[in-house]
Amino acid sequence: MTQDNVNVKVFVDKDLRRARFNRSTLAGAVMRGVDVNGLDIDAPWLAEGTLLVNGVDIAPLVEAELNSRFPGRELRQATDPDGLRRAWAALEAAWAAAVDRARSMPPGAVDVSIDGEWSFAQTLRHLAFAADTWLGKAILRLPQPFHPFGQPNVEYETDGFDMSIFAAEQPTFAETLELRAERQAMVRDFVAAVTPDLLAEPRPAAWWPEQQVSVLHCLHVIFDEEWQHLRFALRDLDAQE
C-alpha cells in the first residue's frame, strides 16, 4: 500500500481475496483492472447513491431485482396514509411467512448466527428496538421508549448510550415473538390513524436531536429497517438449509 500527497490510499498488485469489510466505507473508491469474481457486496444504502460497474450504474438494477424478489418492497417509500398502510401490511405478510419458515426448521435454528451476524431471534428483537427508536422515541416522544428485550444496534454502547435499560438475559423465542407482535401492532395502529398533516410534522431525529425530520421520514426508516433485515434473515436461513 502506498499513499500519495492528497491522502488517497492506493493499492497496487495486492491480493485482497477473502478480505472482509464490516461497517466500513468504500465511498468514492476507484477500482481498475480488478478481478471481482465472487465479490459479495451488501450495501443497505445502495439506492441512495450510485455503483458503477464497467461504466454502468447498477444501483437501479439491484433495486428493481430486490423489488421483484420481495413483493411489496416497492411501497416502502409511500408518502400518503393509504400507501403507508399498504406498505406496512405487505411487510407484516412477508415477515409472517419468514417466521413460519423459521419455526419449521430444526430446534435452535432461530438462535444460529451466520458469519457473526445476528440470529433470526436477535433480528426480531432489533426490529422491536427500531420501532421503539423511530416511533416510540422520535415520533411519540415517550420518555423511556425501549423494551428490555430490544436488540440495540452494534454502535449503541460505544456511542455512549445507556445499556442498562436492556435485559442481560436472553428472552425465549416465545417472548421474542410476543414483543415483536406488540411492536408490529404499535406501528399498524399508528399508520391506521395517521393523517397527511401529522406525516408532515417535524420531530427531532432519534439519534441527532438537533436535526429536525418529518414523521414520514421516521416511518420510512422503520420500513427500510424491516425490508433490509428481512433480506438478511432469509439469506441466513438459506445458509442454514
The DSSP 8-state label assigned to residue 154 in this structure reads: T
Angle at 95 between CA 91 and CA 96, to 5 degrees: 115
26 with 94, same domain? no
Are 98 and 152 members of one domain?
A: yes
User: By C-alpha distance, which of 128, 109, 129 is closest to 120?
Assistant: 109
> In a 3-state reduction of DSSP, which class is residue 42?
coil
Question: What's the mean pLDDT when you consider all of the chain?
Answer: 92
d(CA 149, CA 129): 8
For residue 124, what pLDDT is reported? 98
Position 4 pLDDT exceeds 50:
no
DSSP letters, 181-222, are HHHHHHHHHHHHH--HHHHH-EEE-SS-TTSEEEHHHHHHHH
Question: What pLDDT, on a 0 to 100 scale, did the predictor assign at position 6?
Answer: 56
Q: How far apart are CA 102 and CA 237, in angstroms?
A: 7
121 within 8 A of 176, measured Cβ to Cβ: yes
Give the per-residue pLDDT at 118. Answer: 95
> Are 64 and 110 part of one and the same domain?
no
- pLDDT recorded at residue 112: 97
Same domain assignment for residues 59 and 152: no
Q: Are residues 90 and 177 in the same domain?
A: yes
Whether residues 100 and 56 share a domain: the answer is no
Does the structure show a pLDDT above 60 at 1? Answer: no
Based on its alpha-carbon atoms, the radius of gyration of the chain, rounded to whole angstroms, reads 20
Q: How many domains does the chain have?
A: 2
Domain range for 132 is 76-240
Q: Could you give the 3-state DSSP secondary structure of residue 241? A: coil
Question: Could you tell me if 53 and 83 lie in one domain?
Answer: no
pLDDT reported for residue 28: 84
**Statement to judge: residues 43 and 102 lie in one domain:** no
CA distance 202 to 139: 9
Report whether pLDDT(12) > 90.
no
pLDDT band at 2 (very low <50, low <70, confident <90, very high): very low
pTM, rounded to two decimals: 0.89
pLDDT tens-digit readout, 140-188? 999 999 999 999 998 888 888 889 999 989 999 999 999 999 999 999 9
C-alpha of 43 from chain center: 11
pLDDT in tens, 43-57: 888 888 899 999 999
126-148: burial string, b at 16+ Cβ within 10 Å, e else:
bbbbbbbbbbbbbbeeeeebbbe
Within this chain, do residues 93 and 170 fall inside the same structural domain, yes or no?
A: yes
Q: How far apart are CA 84 and CA 107, in angstroms?
A: 35
Contact 70, 231 (CB under 8 A): yes
Query: In this structure, what CATH number is given to the domain that contains residue 175?
Result: 1.20.120.450
| Three cell numbers, residue 198 | 401529522
Q: What is the pLDDT of residues 232-241, one digit of tens each?
A: 999 999 999 8
**% the chain with pLDDT above 90:** 72
